Amino acid sequence: MHDPIAAGRSAAARAVAVEIAASGLVALGFLALDWRHALAAAIGGAAMAAGNALSIALAFGGGIQRAPVAFGRLLLGVMGKWMVVLAIFVLALAGWRLPPLPLLAGLAVSTLGYLLALNRIGARAARHRQG
């Protein structure tokens, strides 16, 4: 029997792993400038990865539920994700005084890596279902 909740959770977890790897590559690139730039890029990517992991846990954590409850969990996950990202950004900018551009670059590459990984995983699953 096919469990769509487990398949979705697994696909999202693999996408988070790709997201973390993409963030690491950006941080290595910024290491050429300074360690603070590399740290900022890594924190930007880690903020989005942590937010996505929280979103996955909240959205998929309840199993199969009625549509309004599932939609509410999805919205709660998205709000939680952006609250985590915002809190980490405020801490990095105001508390640790890290440079903002690498922080945003880490966030952008992390988001792009996550979306591309989800798209690739979804396309592979569709090809697998077709034949």
C-beta separation of 38 from 28 below 8 A: yes
Neighbours of 59 (CB within 10 A): 23
C-beta separation of 49 from 111 below 8 A: no
Query: Which residue from 22, 78, 13, 79 is spatially nearest to 45, judged by alpha carbons?
Result: 22
- Mean pLDDT across 12-38: 95
Query: Angle at Cα 19 formed by Cα 36 and Cα 57, nearest 5°?
Result: 115
pLDDT band at 131; cut points 50, 70, 90 = low
For residue 34, the one-letter residue type is D
**pLDDT, tens digit (0-9, with 9 covering 90-100), for 94-128:** 999 999 999 999 999 999 999 999 999 888 877 88
Give the phi and the psi of residue 129 in degrees, each rounded to 5. -70, -30
For the chain, how big is the Rg over CA atoms in Å? Answer: 16
**pLDDT, tens digit (0-9, with 9 covering 90-100), for 39-91:** 999 999 999 999 999 999 998 888 888 999 999 999 999 999 999 999 999 99
Tell me what pLDDT residue 60 has. Answer: 86
